[in-house]
Amino acid sequence: MGAIKVVIQNLPLLLQAAMMTFILSLVATAIGLVIGSLICILRHSKRRSLARAGAIYISFFRGVPLLVQLLLIYYFLPFIGIDVPSLVAAVAGLSLCTAAYLAEILRGGLLSIPVGQREAGEMLGLSKAQIWRRLLLPQAVRLMLPAIVSEVTLLLKASSLISVIGVAELTRTGQNIAASTYRPLEIYTAIGVIYLALNLLLAAGGGMMERRFGLVRQ
Amino acid sequence: MIFDLFVFAGSGTEILSGLLMTLLTWASGTALSLALGLVVSVGLVFGSRALRMLLRGYVEVIRGTPFLVQLFILYFGGPYIGLTLDPVPAGVLGLAVYGAAYFAEIFRAGFLAIPSGQIEAASILGLTRGQVVRRVQFPQMMVVILPALINMVIILSKETTILSIITVPELTFVVKGIGTRTFAFVETLLALALGYWLLVEATSAFGKALEQRIASHLTR
């Protein structure tokens, strides 16, 4: 009985922290999409050196463990004279990492559209911007949507690591409560359930978007 | 500040022991989770309805929660239900339980990838169910799922860094310690990042070579 009580007592705090985790993940995804698009363009640049730089970026951020990336950014920014709160360092770290994965998703989505369509668009006299806006992007987004949603789910789970650099998101808040109440089993289990619920929420949101924009139409 | 690469001088044995601990937890965590994952996948495919639902629940809970939180429940929560573990066994057990859920899904996809006609043909030829799994399904599915398996092994190598948070003295823990001692955080962490990068790229190259060797009969 005490187990449920200690969770209920701390529930408002936990839900507030869950909100933080959720928003942080979405913000990092949004920034990651912008950086990821740039990396994707870089990766397909005609200049070999730029394409190489894009490939190295993707390889580095997918090859190095996120925890090490986060610690590196956390200590590196002050080292070069940029003093930022740990929250900013955390969002920067998550964004840079997810950008590498998103760049690969964007690449896959764009490559899966047949070249013939682009050629047909050119033959019909569409401008380059029109081809992108009306032909390639609408189709690519539909193809990429499931992969992007699953990347957001991964990021949401990975965001638990920013607790290490002191950001008061769900895991960190749980650590504090577990330490002050001496009930780690109950609190950490509750946190696990909240992460599970957040992921279900994301999956439901993703499903809704896929039904709205995706390839499967009712 | 200056960029000083001599911060590692005199820490050679410490780093080596950290690296060994990383490799040890990675290897044992991978081996255990592969074995457990295979068992779970067999239950998911061939088990009774109740068993299937139970295992599905396990897989979904593990895949829906962060590894760090799972570790906390095991390491800090465990003692309250009589499961008191030292950091290293807790880390390896955590990796095994975590990885097994992902490996189970990969194995399950592999089992489903083999056409049922083959299984029917084999059972008509008089092979027992165990023989069908061992001699017909398993060898073929390994070719199909090898890329996914290697990918997961690489992910596990990166997850070992998280064990540093529950004070397992692996590479990240040791290098962080050196950083704290010398205040040379950037140098130490940069070297650490490059080290992991190298490890992951090497594993990835090894995996590609293995894929080519095992699937060579398909690409001809």
Average pLDDT, chain A: 89
Check residues B136 and B25 and name the one with the higher pLDDT.
Answer: B25
Q: Please determine, for residue B8, whether its predicted confidence score (pLDDT) is greater than 80.
A: no
DSSP B143-208: HHHHHHHHHHHHHHHHHGGGGGGGT--SHHHHHHHHHHHHS-HHHHHHHHHHHHHHHHHHHHHHHH
Give the CATH fold of the A2-213 domain. MetI-like fold (1.10.3720)
Q: Please determine, for residue A66, whether its predicted confidence score (pLDDT) is greater than 50.
A: yes
At residue B5, the pLDDT reads 65
* Contacting B residues, span 127-186, partner chain A, CB-CB under 8 Å: 158-159, 161-162, 164-165, 172, 176, 179, 185-186
Give the CATH fold of the B5-219 domain. MetI-like fold (1.10.3720)
Q: How far apart are the first and last CA of chain B?
A: 57
Average pLDDT for residues A134-157, to the nearest whole number? 88
Please report, as a single letter, which amino acid is at residue B129: R
Q: Please determine, for residue B112, whether its predicted confidence score (pLDDT) is greater than 50.
A: yes
At residue A214, the pLDDT reads 64
Which of A67, A161, A196 minimises the CB distance to B65? A196
Please report, as a single letter, which amino acid is at residue A54: G
Average pLDDT for residues B200-218, to the nearest whole number? 86
- Cβ-contact A28, A98 below 8 angstroms: yes
Length of chain B: 220
Chain A residues at the B interface, defined by Cβ less than 8 Å, are 59-60, 62-69, 71-72, 75-76, 79, 157-161, 163-164, 171, 174-175, 178, 184-186, 188-189, 191-192, 195-196, 199-200
Could you say which DSSP state residue B135 is in? I
Q: Which residues of A78-101 are buried (b: 16+ CB within 10 A; e: fewer)?
A: ebeeeeeebbebbbbbbbbbbbbb
Q: Please determine, for residue A1, whether its predicted confidence score (pLDDT) is greater than 60.
A: no
Which of A63, A195, A200 minimises the CB distance to B66? A195
Domain boundaries, chain A: 2-213
Asked if A191's CB is within 8 angstroms of B69's CB, the reply is yes
Asked if A200's CB is within 8 angstroms of B65's CB, the reply is no
Q: Please determine, for residue B132, whether its predicted confidence score (pLDDT) is greater than 70.
A: yes
ipTM of the complex: 0.88
Give the SS3 label for residue A218. Answer: coil
DSSP B54-119: HHHHHHHHHHHS-HHHHHHIIIIIGGGGT----HHHHHHHHHHHHHHHHHHHHHHHHHHHS-HHHH
Q: What is the pLDDT of residues B66-106, one digit of tens each?
A: 999 999 999 999 888 888 999 999 999 999 999 999 999 99
Which of A59, A63, A158 minimises the CB distance to B196? A63
Kindly state the tokens that stand for A109. 């989505």
At residue A218, the pLDDT reads 45
Check residues B3 and B178 and name the one with the higher pLDDT.
Answer: B178
Please, what is the Cα angle at A146 between A15 and A135, to 5 degrees?
130
Please report, as a single letter, which amino acid is at residue B14: E
Closest of A180, A193, A181, A186 to residue A3, by C-alpha: A186
At residue A44, the pLDDT reads 84
Kindly state the tokens that stand for A148. 């992007």
At residue B166, the pLDDT reads 93
Asked if B164's CB is within 8 angstroms of A63's CB, the reply is no
At residue A30, the pLDDT reads 95
At residue B203, the pLDDT reads 93
At residue B4, the pLDDT reads 65
At residue A201, the pLDDT reads 92
- How far is A121 from A145, CA to CA, in rounded Å? 24
Kindly state the tokens that stand for A113. 């559209």
Which of B72, B192, B193 minimises the CB distance to A188? B72
Q: Please determine, for residue B2, whether its predicted confidence score (pLDDT) is greater than 60.
A: no
- The helix-helix angle for A11-43 and A137-158 (nearest 10°) equals 130
Kindly state the tokens that stand for B207. 């995996």
Q: Please determine, for residue B148, whether its predicted confidence score (pLDDT) is greater than 70.
A: yes
List CB contacts of B81: < 8 A, sequence separation 6 or more: A185
Q: Please determine, for residue B220, whether its predicted confidence score (pLDDT) is greater than 60.
A: no
